[in-house]
Amino acid sequence: MTWDEMQTITASMPQILAVEFGYNSLTKLVSSFQADLSQSKVQSINLDSNMLGDWIHICTSIRPYPV
């Protein structure tokens, strides 16, 4: 599953609280996704066992989710 697909799903399911997104072999959270995530209630995104290493990129990528 791609980061774009995950964002599409979370945008269409605004009540979801936790997303398990580990083991997808991701090196970057690349997205062309433009939907409004301001109504999202996601509190936790598990990125365990992906190949992510750039914390600035990760923080920028998850910024559209409200705190």
Q: How many CB atoms lie within 10 A of CB 35?
A: 12
Instruction: Look up residue 28 and give its amino acid.
Output: K
Q: Which distant-in-sequence residues (6+ apart) come within 8 Å of 60 by Cβ?
A: none
Q: Please tell me the pTM assigned to this model.
A: 0.83
Quote the distance between the C-alpha of residue 15 and its chain's center.
15
Summarize pLDDT for 12-36 with one digit per residue, the tens.
999 999 999 999 999 999 888 787 8
Tokens of 14: 């605004």
What local confidence, expressed as pLDDT, does residue 62 receive? 92
